[in-house]
Amino acid sequence: MKHAAMFVMSITLTVGSLRAQDVNVLVSNVAGAATNNPVVGPGYVVRPVPHADLNIVWNAATQTFTGGFRTEDQTPVVQFAGDKAVAYLPPTGRRTSAATYPFQGPSGSTYWIFPSSAPSSNGAQTLYLGLSAYGVPNNGTFTALAPSTTGRIIWNVHSVENLTTPSANAFYGYSVSGGATNVQLTLDPNYPNRELPMLASGHTHLNLLFRAAGMYRVTFRVRGTLVATGQEVSSLVPVYFGIEQWQIPAAGAPSIALGGSLTFGDVTVGQSATRTLTISNTGNATLNVTNVSYPAGFSGNWNSGSIAAGSATNVDVSFTPTAATNFGGNITVGSDATSGINTIAANGSGLAPWVTVLSPGQPTFNGSQTSMNVRMQSSPNTLLNFLFTGSLSGPATWFTNNTPRNSGPLPKGQFTGNAPIPRTLSSSSRSAIGSFVGRSHLFMKVKIGTPRLRQTSKSFRVCGSMPLPASITMMAASTAVRTR
């Protein structure tokens, strides 16, 4: 018994001679294959083997499947965890497509293959790979598929990632019989719902084809139905295939950056203005945004989602002030980013809405001078802005401060027909027209006819002399004020 115990210890030391952190790069051990072996860096070791299986193991205690590559046809047999071994395919695994099968790509293109037979693998000096369920007991744990009485499990492809070239991830596991192909493992939508049944403790071989070089992480879903309960159990099993690549890239990480001009300026209370916030993922893994928080007065049309590495999402940010005051703060983006800046400042000012203080209707001028008056007063030390709008019909000239002025479509000099006269007047003296602090008196006189200039203090006039047209009217649509 003592010698037996020492023998077990010897095996343990042999298997454990590699450092726990080392990743095993599995290659063929046939004669001449060593010339194709990659030169690996720290943390990796090249391991020549005659044969390896992607092997599934059932854990009854946790009710889960695990898996990874397992060495075969040599002693000791070693089962690796999924992230501790890479099935390496050297350049001798390249093939030029003759378009025999659609999944091989266009004629003349290149694909890479682990052949399903030992002679083909050995002839190409590539690793001879299989798929197995040696760790799944054939003891009635799993249901069978009639007429067989042996329990079985089922494989299908959950995801295929080319960690080196993400856009090139075509993968096919297939067999050929009598010239006909049977594609059983793929995500290609041209071959939907493909799966591989396997007997418990069973074993099989497929051609494993890749359409691009790179380090692949292929995740299989393995499932089975328990005899005892009728429950289907399944687990994800990721493994690595190195197509002319031996190194597993470091785990990617997302990084966040925010951009955009979010200074809104003055916006009337109750109205909105929009600016664009750009959320960029400057990392090398998908950025998952969980929430976007906004300071009071601000909102956005996007609050969560995923942003691919190197991509960005634009968010429409709205500023809708609820009071005549200043607003501001940081917009904060919550995500799984491991680096970057996730806040950006936004600010704006609310202006009180215009309040109509005069709506005089349509006074008619028939040769006599007519006046309209309005008095306005602001809160103490508060700037008051006001705007006069209206329209004239008939020949007239509009003058302000002894100089013919126009605003919008209103022409200088004489005009006929209808013309609006919107104008924002600006000044700051106590009794001027425009913006002021305190109190103001607006006094406007209009006289129609052949134009001539007349100007009095505290007023602007549209003046004229006889003869008058038959119908001349002026309508003040509104005179409005607001505080700031």
Phi, psi of 439 (to 5 degrees): -135, 145
Number of Cβ within 10 Å of residue 238's Cβ equals: 15
Structural tokens at position 11: 């095996």
The whole-number pLDDT of residue 354 equals 58
How far out from the chain centre does Cα 16 lie?
44
The whole-number pLDDT of residue 37 equals 95
H-type alpha helices, 247-396 = none
| Ordered DSSP codes for 117-151 | SHHHHHHTT---EEEEEEES--SSSB-B-TT--SB
- Could you give the CA distance from residue 375 to residue 380 in angstroms, rounded to a whole number? 16
Encode burial over 454-475: b for 16+ CB neighbours within 10 A, e otherwise. beeeebbbbbbeeebeeebbbb
Q: Where are the beta strands (DSSP E) in 29-139?
A: 44-49, 51-59, 64-72, 85-89, 94-96, 110-114, 129-135
Residue with tokens 């497509």: 97
Collapse the DSSP code of 402 into the 3-class scheme (helix H, G, I; strand E, B; otherwise coil) and give the result. coil
Structural tokens at position 353: 């809405």
Q: Report how far apart, in Å, the C-alpha atoms of 429 and of each of 249, 318, 461 are.
A: 72, 36, 19
The whole-number pLDDT of residue 321 equals 95
- Output the pTM of the full model: 0.54
| Per-residue tens of pLDDT for the chain, all 484 residues | 333 333 333 222 233 333 446 899 999 999 999 999 999 999 999 999 999 999 999 999 999 999 999 998 888 999 999 999 999 999 999 999 998 999 999 999 999 999 999 999 999 999 999 999 999 999 999 999 888 888 999 999 999 999 888 888 999 999 999 889 999 999 999 999 899 999 999 999 999 999 999 999 999 999 999 999 999 999 999 999 999 999 988 777 888 999 999 999 989 888 999 999 999 988 878 899 999 999 999 999 999 999 988 889 999 999 999 988 999 999 999 999 888 889 999 999 988 765 544 444 444 444 444 444 444 444 444 454 444 444 444 444 433 333 333 232 222 222 233 333 333 332 222 222 333 333 433 333 333 333 333 333 333 333 333 333 333 333 333 444 444 4
Structural tokens at position 269: 């209370």
**Nearest Cα to Cα of residue 215 among 251, 269, 256, 265:** 251
H-type alpha helices, 151-263 = none
The answer to whether 289 and 306 have CB atoms below 8 angstroms apart is: yes
Is domain 255-351 in CATH 3.30.210.10, yes or no? no
Number of Cβ within 10 Å of residue 356's Cβ equals: 10
Collapse the DSSP code of 330 into the 3-class scheme (helix H, G, I; strand E, B; otherwise coil) and give the result. strand
Q: Where are the domains of the chain?
A: 21-243, 255-351, 355-483
Burial of 289 (0-12, 13-18, 19+ CB in 10 A): buried
The whole-number pLDDT of residue 389 equals 46
**Nearest Cα to Cα of residue 234 among 242, 243, 225:** 225
Residue with tokens 């590559």: 69
* DSSP letter (8 states) at residue 90: -
- Could you give the CA distance from residue 112 to residue 97 in angstroms, rounded to a whole number? 10
Amino acid in the structure at residue 446: V
